Amino acid sequence: MNIYLPGLQLFFIDSNKDTLVMRNQDEARLLTIGHDTYLRHDKTWVRILATSGASAFCLKSVLKIHQDVKIGAYGTADVTSSITNVNMMYGVEGNTAIRLKSLRHIPYTLTHFGLLYDGSKLYIANVRNFKRMFPDRKDDIEKYIAENKLNLDDAKAALQLFNFLNL
């Protein structure tokens, strides 16, 4: 099994070694691949990194492929489609292809977002939602964030806080 980040879909390899997309993905709720567990939410898969009781800390990974934008008149983006990149050159016969070396490195950004799961909904892992999930530990949350200088926009820091609250 493999989760394809640009399309956020689940693929698998069948017995004939063909790559196929899983049908009716929105009907699935949980998925286990090896030691990893994924939760389906809002047409995307999020990985469950830590659990405690009914709550869980999840990671949503978003892949953005950078593409050149053509700028037209008056500094506006050109809305017409045109070929901006070439990644293969075909021979006249059509049976030979040469991959261009310059396109081995496709520019992209992979961003990870921390999410809190309460058993029914996912919430962004920010201070307000941590206090919502752990109402009896509000003072501990503020103190731990200040002492450790955590930035909860960083998924690793948010996971650190989640693990602290579940000790």
Q: What is the pLDDT of residue 150?
A: 95
Q: What is the pLDDT of residue 157?
A: 95
* Averaged pLDDT in 10-residue chunks for the chain of 167 residues: 61 82 81 84 85 91 72 66 48 48 64 91 95 94 96 95 94
Report the C-alpha gap between 157 and 142 in whole angstroms.
14
Sequence ranges of the domains in the chain: 2-165
Report the C-alpha gap between 151 and 51 in whole angstroms.
21
Give Cα separations from 50 to 57, 75, 114 (angstroms).
Answer: 5, 47, 11
